[in-house]
Amino acid sequence: NYDIAIENIDRSIKGLFIHSHRASNNYEITSNIPTGVINAEDSYKNHLQAYKKHLENSSFNGNPTVEMKQSLLSMAALGVGNSYIKKNKKSEKTFTSFIEILKITLPKNIGFKNIRFEVPDVIFETDSGDFVLDSASGGIMSIIDISWQILLYSQDAEHFTALIDEPENHLHPTMQRSLINDLIKAFPNVQFVIVTHSPFIISSVK
């Protein structure tokens, strides 16, 4: 018998877990428009709570996408600010960073450009046509959601590990081939651990 002792090892690993299950993307009006700035930490907690409720109860009326829309509206309106509302630099940075991240992670053939708002809707502007966030395909929504969760977590943690379970869910093989490399490019300080059965994802990593 052998006893193995490894000393001076920090057993805790800072990071986040992204579940294999993706919430159904049903259209729901954003009825509660925040009157206060939602920061990245609170937005991340709200998103996880909505996911947890959705997983525990399939008839749960809420949707993590609604939490995302509320946060984006708050960050755009109150983070960026205007001549009447003082800007919140952290929230503005999170919002503008999300736009830049999506330019990297979303499929190049749609040509994502920007996010605009026609309250209560969040509109994604692309070279292939504008669309309401709620109407995005399962694959596009999955990439948006993964990017959103990692971005929110990264606002308070420069270096961390992201464990993603079955990221191939809902993704066309073409998207599967580019996803991991795009995430690495978008988040260079993140260490990714991927659990997958997809040969497209496995063969795509260089």
CA distance 206 to 132: 34
Top-confidence residue, 191 or 57: 191
Could you give the domains of the chain?
15-20+36-204 (3.40.50)
Residue 91's SS3 state is: helix
Quote the CA–CA distance of 169 and 160 in Å, as a whole number.
Answer: 23
Whole-number pLDDT of residue 5: 55
Q: Encoding tokens for residue 43?
A: 């937005």
Quote the crossing angle between the two packed helices 89-105 and 138-154, to the nearest 10°. 140
Band of pLDDT at residue 90, cut at 50, 70 and 90 = very high
Global pTM reads 0.89
Per-residue pLDDT at 70 exceeds 60: yes
Q: Which two tokens stand for residue 153?
A: 């977590």
Alpha helix positions (H), the chain: 40-56, 64-74, 89-105, 138-154, 173-186, 199-204
Integer Cα distance of 95 and 32 in angstroms: 19
Q: What is the pLDDT of residue 150?
A: 97
For residues 63-82, give the mean pLDDT: 89
- Sole residue written with tokens 């990297």: 104
For residues 206 and 150, the model is more confident at 150
At 36-47, the pLDDT tens digits run 888 999 999 999
**Per-residue model confidence as pLDDT tens digits over 114-147:** 999 998 899 999 999 999 999 999 999 999 999 9
Burial of 113 (0-12, 13-18, 19+ CB in 10 A): middle
Mean of all residue pLDDT scores within the chain? 88
